């Protein structure tokens, strides 16, 4: 104990000296320094480049999701995928090239609104000083949030938004791992042609119903491009506003009057439920109903529509029945289900994959720069993403790997087509190399179901 007394005194003396020096500095130039800092934060991306990305062996990532509002349940689903990936990465030793630094996620809630998503991106960059942003599910929100990231020179990794336009903006800091809707639409047109050839369905005409934001509008454009090129005839297109719609009865009546062979649907959760209810009420049963993922794979949709969801098809990037075809998937899904009580789905699996892709890039970036210098590290991380190549056996999704083109689009991603069967689960029906079930076609009339 006697040896502690000199040390305490010495420390106290040092503190006094430091305080005096600091006081002198403030008196000499404190006001000018404060003014310069405030100006920089308001006008320049340099505000987000001060040290702060790593602290105490941690690397901060900003994640923007719809954690409240009409898509809160989907947001929670996506969040589970991110949390699970971060937990795995940290338990395996963190980012080893940064001395085992742990990943820390700082969330931003977009509430499903583009302007809020942009504000959250700005907050995460300038106040939380994250090294990168991930998100933001809805294409309209991803668009505004990534505009902020581009302005501040911050890498933005998007695992789950599919508007083709997002990677047609000439951005240098935006990277998307999921395939986009033009890629899906081309595959879906090929799928319909395959159905005709294999099952002789005589599918010739199609109709589209879609929500009217960035995502649904661009999906419809992609469908018309590829289905028209494949020789199918558009007989009706209807859009609606998902944020306020309370019934799709009139829209379904109009679709039924057009009598399409194929119905193509781009809906979020609540509007997907409304559509199925209206189709049943009006006994509207085209030969094929093919959805563009989103609301149709949400656990709440599956629970609420019950057997009314049987035989509806959807494109996907993941399905539970691929465990026998993707080596890593079975173990990952078992651990995920043990933690959250449900299987991985297309939402959680894509965001899980996105975090792992970011992790691989972080390992490379840490070899070139320190997260303590945010400006240098963000640039190193962007360069690492641009040159990243991840083989298929590192992924849990049925892709050929991850490799970004000059626009930041992963060119090795691909979709699958699933269909809900009588067991209440989606089964993979296309492409043949991933199929685990034969498609049930044509879609049966509602009044002939048990």
Instruction: Tell me the pLDDT tens digit for each residue of 216-270.
Output: 998 999 999 999 999 999 999 999 998 888 999 999 999 999 999 999 999 998 9
> What string of H, E and C letters represents the secondary structure of the chain?
CCCHHHHHHHHHHHHHHHHHHHHHHHHHHHHHHHHHHHHHHHHCHHHHHCCCCECCCEEEEEEEECCCCCCHHHHHHHHHHHHHHHHHHHHCCCEHHHCCEEEEEEEEECCCCHHHHHHHHHHHHHCCCCCEEEECCCHHHHHHHHHHHHHHCCCEEECCCCCHHHHCCCCCCEEECCCCHHHHHHHHHHHHHHHHHHHCCCCCEEEEEEECCHHHHHHHHHHHHHHHHCCCEEEEEEEECCCCCCCCHHHHHHHHHHCCCEEEEECCHHHHHHHHHHHHHCCCCCCEEEECCHHHHCHHHHHHHHHHHCCCEEEECCCHHHCCCCCCHHHHHHHHHHHHCCCCCHHHHHHHHHHHHHHHHHHHHCCCCCCCCHHHHHHHHHHHHHCCEEEHHHCCCCCCEEEECCCCEECCCCCEEEEECCCCCEEEEECCCCCCCCCCCCCCCHHHCC
In this structure, the number of other CB atoms found within 10 A of the CB of residue 405 comes to 11
Instruction: Tell me the pLDDT tens digit for each residue of 170-208.
Output: 999 999 999 998 999 999 999 999 999 999 999 999 999
Place of tokens 């083109």: 405
Cα–Cα distance, 222 to 26 (Å, whole number) = 60
Backbone angles phi, psi at 246, to 5 degrees: -120, -10
pLDDT of residue 27: 31
For the chain, what is the radius of gyration of the CA atoms? 25
Which residues neighbour 26 within 8 Å (Cβ) at sequence distance 6 or greater?
none
CA-to-CA separations, 233 to 250, 270, 347, 364, 389, in angstroms, rounded: 22, 29, 32, 49, 40
Place of tokens 């190193």: 380
The answer to whether the CB of 441 falls within 8 A of the CB of 199 is yes
Provide the pLDDT confidence category of residue 70 given band limits of 50, 70 and 90.
confident
- What b/e readout covers 18-56, taking b as 16+ CB neighbours within 10 angstroms? eeeeeeeeeeeeeeeeeeeeeeeeeeebebbbbebbbee
Q: In what order do the strands lie in the sheet with 156-158?
A: 102-109, 58-65, 132-135, 156-158, 174-176
Cα–Cα distance, 119 to 103 (Å, whole number) = 23
pTM of the model: 0.75
β-strand pairing of 132-135 with 156-158: parallel
Place of tokens 């298929």: 392
Instruction: Tell me the pLDDT tens digit for each residue of 317-362.
Output: 888 899 888 878 989 999 999 999 988 988 899 999 999 999 999 9
Is the pLDDT reported for residue 16 higher than 60? no
The answer to whether the CB of 138 falls within 8 A of the CB of 66 is yes
In this structure, the number of other CB atoms found within 10 A of the CB of residue 430 comes to 21
Instruction: Tell me the pLDDT tens digit for each residue of 384-442.
Output: 999 999 999 999 999 999 999 999 999 999 899 999 999 999 999 999 989 999 999 99
Percent over 90 (pLDDT), the chain: 73
pLDDT of residue 230: 96
Whether omega before 406 lies within 30 degrees of 0, making that bond cis, reads no
In this structure, the number of other CB atoms found within 10 A of the CB of residue 8 comes to 9
pLDDT of residue 56: 56
The answer to whether the CB of 149 falls within 8 A of the CB of 121 is yes
Provide the pLDDT confidence category of residue 378 given band limits of 50, 70 and 90.
very high
Instruction: Tell me the pLDDT tens digit for each residue of 20-59.
Output: 333 333 333 333 322 222 222 333 333 333 445 555 599 9
β-strand pairing of 288-291 with 262-266: parallel
Instruction: Tell me the pLDDT tens digit for each residue of 269-282.
Output: 899 999 999 999 99
Nearest in space to 286 (alpha carbons), one of 264, 310, 305? 264
Place of tokens 């067991």: 423
Nearest in space to 336 (alpha carbons), one of 159, 95, 88? 88
Nearest in space to 69 (alpha carbons), one of 107, 110, 108, 118? 110
Provide the pLDDT confidence category of residue 120 given band limits of 50, 70 and 90.
very high
């Amino acid at each position: 104990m006697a040896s502690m007394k000199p040390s305490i005194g010495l420390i106290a003396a040092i503190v006094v000296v430091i305080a005096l020096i600091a006081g002198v500095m403030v008196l000499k130039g404190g006001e000018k320094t404060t003014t310069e800092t405030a100006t920089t934060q308001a006008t320049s991306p340099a505000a987000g480049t001060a040290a702060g990305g790593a602290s105490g062996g941690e690397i901060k990532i900003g994640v923007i999701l719809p954690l409240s509002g009409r898509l809160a349940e989907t947001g929670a689903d996506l969040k589970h995928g991110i949390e699970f990936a971060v937990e795995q990465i940290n338990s395996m030793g963190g980012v080893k090239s940064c001395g085992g630094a742990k990943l820390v996620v700082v969330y931003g809630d977009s509430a499903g609104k583009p302007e809020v998503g942009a504000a959250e991106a700005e907050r995460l960059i300038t106040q939380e000083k994250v090294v990168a942003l991930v998100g933001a599910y809805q294409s309209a929100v991803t668009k505004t949030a990534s505009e902020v990231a581009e302005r501040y020179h911050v890498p933005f990794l998007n695992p789950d938004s599919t508007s083709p336009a997002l990677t047609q903006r000439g951005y240098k800091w935006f990277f998307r791992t999921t395939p986009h809707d033009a890629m899906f639409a081309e595959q879906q047109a090929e799928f319909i042609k395959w159905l005709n050839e294999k099952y002789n369905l005589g599918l010739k005409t199609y109709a589209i119903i879609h929500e009217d934001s960035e995502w649904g509008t661009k999906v419809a454009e992609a469908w018309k491009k590829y289905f028209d090129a494949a020789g199918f005839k558009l007989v009706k297109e209807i859009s609606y506003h998902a944020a306020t719609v309370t019934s799709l009865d009139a829209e379904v009546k109009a679709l039924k009057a057009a009598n399409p062979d194929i119905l193509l649907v781009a809906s979020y959760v609540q509007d997907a439920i409304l559509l199925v209810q209206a189709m049943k009420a009006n006994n509207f049963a085209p030969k094929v109903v093919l959805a563009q993922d989103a609301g149709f794979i949400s656990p709440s949709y599956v629970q609420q529509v019950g057997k009314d969801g049987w035989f509806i098809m959807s494109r996907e990037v993941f399905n539970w029945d691929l465990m026998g075809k993707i080596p890593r998937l079975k173990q990952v899904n078992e651990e995920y289900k043990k933690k959250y009580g449900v299987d991985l789905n297309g939402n959680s699996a894509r965001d899980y994959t996105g975090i792992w892709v970011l992790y691989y890039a972080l390992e490379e970036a840490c070899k070139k720069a320190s997260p303590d210098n945010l400006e240098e590290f963000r640039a190193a991380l962007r360069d690492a993403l641009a040159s990243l190549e991840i083989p298929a056996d590192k992924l849990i999704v049925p892709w050929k790997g991850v490799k970004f083109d000059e626009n930041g689009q992963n060119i090795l991603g691909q979709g699958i087509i699933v269909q809900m069967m009588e067991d209440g689960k989606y089964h993979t029906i296309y492409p043949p190399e991933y199929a685990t079930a034969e498609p049930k076609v044509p879609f049966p009339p509602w009044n002939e179901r048990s």
